[in-house]
Structure 1
Amino acid sequence: MAKAFRTVLGERLRRLGKSIWWRHCTAAAFLVASLFVLPARALDNMSFVVRGGEDELTESFRAASLLVQSWNDGLTDPQTLFAAARADYGRLVGAAYAEGFYSVVVRIEIDGREAATIEPLDAPAAMREIRVTIEPGPRFTFATARMRPYAPGTQLPPAYGDTKPAFSTAIVDAAEAGVDGWRNVGHAKARVADQSITADHSADTIDSLILLEPGPRVRFGQMTISGAERMRPERIARIAGFPTGETFDPEELDTVANRLRRTGAFRSVALQEAETLGFGDTLDVDLVVAEEALRRFGVGAELSSTEGLNLSGYWLHRNLFGGAERLRVDGAIDRIGGQGDTLGYELGARIERPATPVTDASAFVEARVGREELADITLDKIELSFGLTRVLSDTLSAEAGISYIHTRAEDVTGSFEFDMVALPVSLTWERRDNPIDARKGFYLQADVTPFYGFNMTDSGAQFKADARAYRSFGAEDRLTLAGRVQLGTVVGTSLAATSPDFLFFSGGGGTVRGQPYQSLTVPLVRPSGVTVQTGGLSFAGMSGELRAGITEKIGAVAFYDAGFVSDDAIFGGNSDWHAGAGLGLRYDTGFGPIRLDVGLPVSGTTDDGVQIYVGIGQAF
């Protein structure tokens, strides 16, 4: 509809200008002529003059010109330049109308001859000079800018209004807004029925009237599916949740497409509305999909001077049983060559089924095993989980589940068993422009995990929050301020009767750079009287970065991090702080920046000299 309106609008607008010779160009004749013309000398000079135009207007004309583009690209072939000159009449007049100049005069001279007067069969075999001269004339304003009938809630663009500059783009945008307004209230086949655009050259004004035809109010009909190879059609329909019988709403079509894209099983998803309405003013829609490759794998690595080398990898199957079931197996080996005697590892598998039990939810089953060293404690862990994820909007999602966790903690005084049933619930609000390399927006994740302990394990609840914000400024937004705040606490338990993996540590790449990994701890006195270092019941972390783009690929970062750990809930009891700061470099690989950070301790008693971090992606 918008395309058709642009076509009609273009015809009406062309009638407003003065007679322009380029209308008589015959493309077919030019192609024939090009077969008989011999190569010629290079073009020596090209001038481009906008008389009485401001710099911004001149740049608009230059951006629209094929001759300017050809000159900048070093193209001097006469046939190419002649074709560009003939095309530039229409392009430059269109650029003038877009800026509100309807008395524009365009002259394009090739060696003193007007290009529009040169017959295609007489195309010059040689060119020495091309001169483009544009006289924009006065800028027109809208005497009246009208549209009817309006749909309830239609928001016209601010540029379409009485006394405003009469940009042709404002007329097109207004027509699109009018059609969209009717579509938003169920009139799927709304269109521009007619329009009247009249120029008064004596007053330099435009009278514009756009007439809309809403058509009937429409309900969704049936959805047909094409392009599926391995996916079962009934599962596609279940995931899509097409709203058959409901009043037409274009946002519902976007929702259907997004549901399918989120599965990761499709390379492309397209919804095509039927050209005509069905019985009872219903609209059928054709869903066209192209499936992704079934399998994918990835690897990652991070290097730290105290943590050593951390390696990770995953293998993913996108469509395990023909219903977009995702199986992901991932593993990691930590602290290779790092401080400490224990090599950490983790192995996990998770299978997730979309549209279970309802359209916007997914069910998952997960199993994980691992070993890690936390300060003076070595931890072996087994976890089995079942849960549901729910998409609440394009940026908001939630997850809830039930987990059984068995942990065996060992230190110099012996080993301790922790068993619990946990009910983790999380809410994620994702508003970053790019999660891997954010320049603007924010991210917020909040987690609440009540748990019931067995044997020596206390019962209680863990609370965590992670908030990040980004803002860019300067030329081309090359400077970015990034900030992060992390909070956590465990309530209802004692330090000794809480599984160490539910406690909090500080130091290292994920919390405080410049301080050794998990170096900020709290003392715990065992029944034997021996004191060991473990995590705290409360934690707060703050990080700030100034990111600067040096070139298109290389960037620099200055950062400051601080962390706090206490041995009691709600940030009470005995506590300590430490901080670190440093500089870093980033190299943009296209799929994410490679990160190199060098940090130094700023405050606290846990410092151990210079810390170096290498990884993929920003620190946060």
Structure 2
Amino acid sequence: MAAPAGYALEKIEFQVVGGNEDLADDLRASSLLIAAETEGTTEAQDLFTAARAEYARLVGALYAQGYYSPVVRVLIDGREAATIAPLNAPASISRIAVQVDPGPPFAFSRANITPLAPETELPDGFAVGERARSGIIRESVTVAVDGWRGIGHAKTATSGQNIVADHAQNTLAADVTLNPGPRLRFGPLTITGEERMRERRIRKIAGLPEGEVYSPEELDRAAGRLRRTGVFSSVAMTEDENVTSPDLLGITATVVEQKTRRYSFGAELASFEGATLTGSWLHRNLLGGAERLTINGMVANIGAQASGMDYSLGVTLDRPATLTPDTTLSFHVDFEHMDEEDYVSDGAATGITFSHIFSDRLTARVGVEYSFSKVDDDSGDYTYRNLSVPLGLTWDSRDVKLDATEGYFLDATAMPFLGFGTTDSGARLTVDGRAYRSFGADNRVTLAGRVQAGAVFGSDLLNTPRDYLFYSGGGGTVRGQPYQSLGVNILRSSLPDFKIGGLAFMAVSAEVRTRITERIGVVGFVDAGSVGAQDFFDDLGDWHAGAGLGLRYDTGFGPIRLDVAAPVGGDTGEGVQIYVGIGQSF
């Protein structure tokens, strides 16, 4: 029943003795009563319950900051809340006062955890003379236990603790004893919860090394491999309570499968290139072994100002845990029609790729691909056929893939190719490097930079497949310049000149991203790119640049991007270009 209007809660007073504003802020943030007031709670029973729990909540917060002789009072209309029996709870409450005297801070007189595993380093704050925060004790014990678990002692536990506060000296003596237990090996893996997935494939994908020395990192990697398949909405790896003689620790993998099929659609819009529509259909578990079948379709340059529509269709089948638990085998077939400003092309490609994940940051790939294309441009008709061996390496330490604020990204690809007929042989190299750094209050300002470069070696310009050549301009290279507006001009004595992509390319981009609110941000950016006929910055090549402003709205799964840019260098474009999409530009 709500309190009568005349006895409604008027105020919660919160007072901390000593003038330590940082401590006072921490205590207010921990207070159940302040939280109740913020939420608009007025029911007397709810306030009374929060008041009785306030003592333990504030004492715990004080211990966490190293104060072990506090005095906490919670007065309900002048009565100490702790002295009011629950059966005599007040029917109405008009005033609550919280008074906290934290007392003096305590320092460690002893800080000892034994035994420690070799090379274990405890946190710096767990040392004689340092502030005796309770949190640093828990953190240090966790580090010490993890040290033993990391070398196979999975059942390490505390066997004794002696923590004594000396109120006369304002010190705390902390002695903790660990029992590492025996060194264990991985026992059998038990799997529960699977429905469509074959149990044998789950074991193969997890790659848990049964019989080898226990390692929490290996356990985490096994769970990560299962999650990475996309088959499961939940994966939990649980250690057995008991050890199987002589030294085996069984593991239970509990999985929950999600729906096998998924559809996705995407759209981007640019004023010069027009609209791009993409769609995909995915089957996560085609044959019961986490085989992933993906069909992708794209229609691009819808309404483009200087070219016709491009469209493509691709089918990819991925099989994880091929050769090793961290290696995925992919087979793909792709068809595309490209109606560009300078040429029209119809092509197809098929190939296989092995991708290997070395760590959360490092991935490598190698493949074999055959491609075919027929090209019609101002110089005539060409047929290109080649066999290539793409080799790639990706390093990704970004904190958030679609909206990075810290970290680095580097992708490098080397692709030797063997041409047939009139197609030359050579090698194509590309590099894409990105860096992010944030600063200011709550890291609201992010500096982002990108460098792209590519080159084709050993192949004549006209005898190189058109999709291996490089252009610049558009949302992926130089914003403010029309899409693929920068190439190289081929000069002919008796025939008209025509434009074609170059064998060398470089582009740089820089952005300053600033969050105005939690969801809205603004971006200032500048891009520049160059294309060379044979080499970087050769006489037949040229450069251009663009700059502009952007607006970002954080949707929770990635920002919606709106960029407005104009040319600031070169002669390949004029006017304003507009770009709309999801995710940062890079």
TM-score (normalizing by structure 2)? 0.98
- Alignment partner of 2:401 out of 427, 431, 435: 435
Listed one character per residue, the Cα deviations across residues 130-170 of structure 1 (whole Å, up to 9, x for unaligned) are 11111111101001111111111212111111000010111
Deviations 1:34-89 (A, max 9, x none): xxx87443111211000004111001111111111111111121111111110011
2:301 maps to 1:335? yes
Aligned counterpart for 2:202 among listed residues 213, 222, 236: 236
Say whether residues 1:614 and 2:585 are aligned partners: no
The answer for the alignment partner of 1:225 in structure 2 is: 191
Determine helix, strand or coil for the equivalent of 1:467: strand
CA distance in 2, matches of 1:527, 1:191: 85
CA distance change for structure 1 residues 353 and 527 in 2, over 3 Å: closer, same or farther?
farther
Q: Which amino acid aligns with 2:434?
A: R
Other-structure match for 1:371: 337
Tell me which residue corresponds to 1:81: 47
Q: Which amino acid is 2:219 matched to?
A: L
C-alpha displacement of 1:341 = 4.6
In structure 2, how many angstroms separate the alpha carbons of the residues matched to 1:229 and 1:356? 22
Q: Of 37, 54, 61, which aligns to 2:27? A: 61
In the alignment, which residue of structure 1 is the partner of 2:160? Answer: 194
Letter in 2 for 1:125: A
Written as runs of structure 1 = structure 2, the 5 A alignment for 1:532-611 is 532-569=498-535, 571-611=537-577
Counterpart of 2:352 in structure 1: which amino acid? Answer: F
Amino acid at match of 1:296: R
Partner of 2:102: 136
Summarize deviations over 1:216-237 as a string: whole Å, max 9, x none.
Answer: 0111100000010100000000
Task: Report the count of equivalent residues.
Answer: 584
Partner residue of 2:414 out of 440, 445, 448: 448
Matched, 1:184 2:150: yes
Decide whether the 8 Å contact of 1:403 with 1:421 is kept in 2: yes
Task: After TM superposition, give the deviation of residue 282 of structure 1 in Å.
Answer: 0.8
Equivalent-residue separation in structure 1 for 2:195 and 2:84 (angstroms): 56
1: CA distance, partners of 2:208 / 2:302:
50
1:571 and 1:443 map into 2 onto residues whose CA distance is 26
Q: Is the 8 A contact 1:315 1:328 kept in 2?
A: yes
Q: Which residue of 1 aligns with 2:84?
A: 118
What is residue 302 of structure 1 aligned with on the other side? 268
Checking the alignment, whether the CA contact within 8 Å between 1:413 and 1:530 is kept in structure 2 is no
For residues 434 and 177 of structure 1, what CA distance do their matches in structure 2 show? 27
Match in the other structure for 2:426: 460
Matched AA of 1:614: V
| CA distance in structure 1 between the partners assigned to 2:574 and 2:154 by the alignment | 67
* Secondary structure, aligned partner of 2:281: strand
Maintained 8 Å contact 1:491/1:569? no
Q: Is the 8 A contact 2:2 2:44 kept in 1?
A: no
Where does structure 1 differ by over 6 angstroms across 4 or more consecutive aligned residues? none
Kindly indicate whether the alpha-carbon contact (under 8 Å) linking 1:375 and 1:534 is maintained by their aligned counterparts in 2.
no
In structure 1, which of residues 52, 63, 69 is the aligned counterpart of residue 18 of structure 2? 52
Match of 1:360 among 302, 326, 338: 326
Q: Of 324, 331, 335, which aligns to 2:290?
A: 324
Structure 2 vs 1, CA of residues 129 and 39 (structure 1 numbering), >3 Å: closer, same or farther?
closer
Corresponding residue for residue 422 of structure 1: 388
- Aligned match for 2:354, one of 384, 388, 407: 388
- Distance, in Å, in 2 between the alignment partners of 1:395 and 1:321 is 29
TM superposition shift of 1:374: 3.8
Measure the CA separation in 1 of the matches of 2:43 and 2:504.
Answer: 73
Distance 2:339 2:185 in 1: 60
Q: Indicate the SS of the match to 1:569.
A: coil
Contact residue 413 and residue 526 of structure 1 kept, 8 A? no
* d(CA) in 1 for partners of 2:114, 2:581: 58
Displacement, 1:191? 0.3
Q: Following TM superposition, by how much is the alpha carbon of 1:373 offset from its aligned partner in structure 2, in angstroms? A: 3.2
1:405 aligns with 2:371: yes
Query: Structure 1 length as normaliser, TM-score?
Result: 0.92
User: What does 1:461-500 correspond to in 2, within 5 Å?
Assistant: 461-500=427-466
Report SS of the residue matched to 2:204. helix
- The residue type paired with residue 159 of structure 2 is A
Cα distance, 1:526 vs structure 2: 6.4
- CA RMSD after TM alignment: 1.3
- CA deviation vs aligned residue, 1:276-309 (integer Å, no higher than 9, x gap): 1001111000000011210111111111111111
Measure the CA separation in 2 of the matches of 1:255 and 1:288: 15
| Structure 2 counterpart of 1:257, from 223, 226, 245 | 223
Which of 568-577 and 313-322 deviates more? Answer: 568-577
Unaligned runs of 5+ in 1: 1-36
Letter in 1 for 2:549: L
Quote the Cα distance in structure 1 between the aligned partners of 2:499 and 2:292. 40
Residue identity over aligned pairs, in percent, reads: 50
